[in-house]
Amino acid sequence: MDMINIKINGMPLSVPAGTTILEAARELGIEIPTLCHMKDLNEIGACRICVVEVKGARSLVASCVYPVNEGMEVFTNTPRVLNARKKTLELILSTHDRKCLSCTRSGKCELQSLCNELGVEDEGKYDGERKVYTLDTSSAHMVRDNNKCILCRRCVAACRQQFVGVIGPNNRGFETSIGCAFEKNLGETACINCGQCIVSCPTGALAERDDTDKVFAALADPTKHVVVQTAPSIRATLGECFDMPVGTNVEGKMVAALRRLGFDKVFDTDFAADLTIMEEANEFIDRVQNGGKLPLITSCSPGWVKFCEMYHPDLLENVSSCKSPQQMFGAVIKTWYAETNGIDPKDIVSVSVMPCTAKKFEVDRDDQAAAGVADVDISITTRELARMIQKAAINFNLLPDEAFDNPLGESTGASVIFGATGGVMEAALRTAVETLTGKELDSVDFEAVRGTAPIKEATLNVEGMDVKVAVASGASAAHVLLNRVKNGEQFHFIEIMGCPGGCVNGGGQPHQPASVRSFTDLKALRAAALYADDASKAIRKSHENPMIKKLYAEYLEKPGSHKAHEILHTSYVDRSKDYIK
């Protein structure tokens, strides 16, 4: 590897050829600020916040895209550099809606943080004509506020990375704005509600639809029995909202916080993940043994399901008819739980805490009402839960560890890894292989489907049969894999998650600045917490969950039964002609 010798602020450094000045500076502990830059996603050098001086160069250069060369001398903090960055921020603010106190990103806004660091005052130094945009509230999962957009184009890059590409720059010059084709509302496009644009946005221009007031209203209503479920990945990410290290498992504090918010019962979506495995593994075995449609493709990710309905409707027969764990849990709450406790399902408010903005779309899908009312009433994101905790003045970091309520708080190691790409596949294999062979696995760890690679494949020999499986995360990877299926490549079982890395990297997860997202493997750190939780569990296979066994014995009869289908399964629709792509 060719090494390049340079100096940054007088300090010598040797870095590989092709390294940018931004990357080289990090080697010395110098964090050059950025706004538009996101490594491997949006490297366009457009915002000019990252400018530095290079000896011999006539103008300042954008460090995020400027490669080092032999003997280069770089200066990152000269008066010229600092003044240029400050002036750029002042110009950005001149067309920015500066309502920081009411913005959901206040305190977590990259623009706000840079203004504080560089001493920019909200004095309107360059104020003049300013475009005023109407909020786009047309989509089920988010609100778009172009009054706070800084035209960094991170959201555009994120949407294109997801293959969807329904947003982009419209018009030119001062008239430029980020929007949809023909200035249509987002809800009229083939958006899959994944929210990857939201977690990429450095400001409050993009935010999930906030449903916290609905939850507070339900909690304050004495006629309602309010139940909450939390997805597997939330325990590995919620702590970031309270300045804990990435990958900290805060399950106990999360449960304690939810109790203090006033929920009548605090349950674990992991229970329904185990239930999903029972139904999905049974469906897989049935298709293999009886000549059913293969490959079977998992259905836990509503963003991926909507993607399939819009872009690959010819493969909908391959998608498992199982509801997602969120919806299965809600269905069990409104049926078995309601009957067992003598509660009218109409008096239950079922709330979910999810890593996924697409869950807000999923709760209103057709065929998601096992008891004649919505399986899940309100779905909020990790960020919304954090805001509720803060609004209620609950000191999260000082809370004790508490356990989920029984019986729907019981789960296995198989369920907790649902939050990581490959987790659903691994959990399903643990149950399917033991069911097919009638033998206990020597090891339940299927390492071949772990990791953050966009596509992973493995072939397993089960009772003399080669079972070929694949895992894809992110809509672009799913598109590639599905086209391989259409071209005749044979697979038996496929897991797909709509977000790169799976739920741990969902669109509803905590905001992290570009300085973290570009250089820290959030997906791996968050997933590691889930795999550690799995390894520590006494029971690591879904079919061994005692409460799952009891639920089938006393209510659902058996996996795949008529009653199980009525409550736990759903259907899909061809949306390919309904939206602008």
pLDDT at 73 over 80: yes
High-pLDDT (> 90) share of the chain, %:
96
CB 487 within 8 A of CB 510: no
pLDDT of residue 1: 72
pLDDT at 136 over 90: yes
pLDDT of residue 128: 86
pLDDT of residue 152: 97
Q: Which two tokens stand for residue 44?
A: 């366009």
Cα–Cα distance list, 569 to 61, 373, 412, 492 (Å) = 56, 15, 22, 20
pLDDT of residue 122: 73
Mean pLDDT of 474-481: 98
Q: How many CA atoms lie within 13 A of 427 on its CB side?
A: 39
Mean pLDDT of 289-315: 96
Confidence category of residue 388, pLDDT binned at 50, 70, 90: very high
Confidence category of residue 398, pLDDT binned at 50, 70, 90: very high
pLDDT, the chain, mean: 96
**Range of lowest pLDDT (112-126, 240-254, 277-291):** 112-126
d(CA 214, CA 376): 13
pLDDT at 422 over 80: yes
High-pLDDT (> 70) share of the chain, %:
100
Paired with 67 in beta bridges are 20
Chain centroid offset of residue 291 CA: 35
Mean pLDDT of 215-227: 98
pLDDT at 437 over 80: yes
pLDDT at 539 over 90: yes
pLDDT of residue 116: 95
pLDDT of residue 123: 72
CB 530 within 8 A of CB 419: yes
Q: What is the DSSP string of 470-488?
A: EEEESHHHHHHHHHHHHTT
pLDDT at 259 over 90: yes
User: What is the set of domains in the chain, with CATH numbers?
Assistant: 3-77 (3.10.20.740), 93-208 (3.30.70.20), 213-568 (3.40.50.1780)
Indicate the helix (H) or strand (E) that contains 256: helix 251-261
Q: What is the DSSP string of 108-126?
A: T-HHHHHHHHTT--SS-TT
pLDDT of residue 464: 85
pLDDT of residue 463: 84
Mean pLDDT of 130-137: 95
Mean pLDDT of 229-244: 98
pLDDT of residue 578: 81
Confidence category of residue 125, pLDDT binned at 50, 70, 90: confident
pTM: 0.96
Confidence category of residue 216, pLDDT binned at 50, 70, 90: very high
pLDDT at 302 over 90: yes
Mean pLDDT of 440-445: 94
Mean pLDDT of 526-531: 97
pLDDT of residue 577: 87
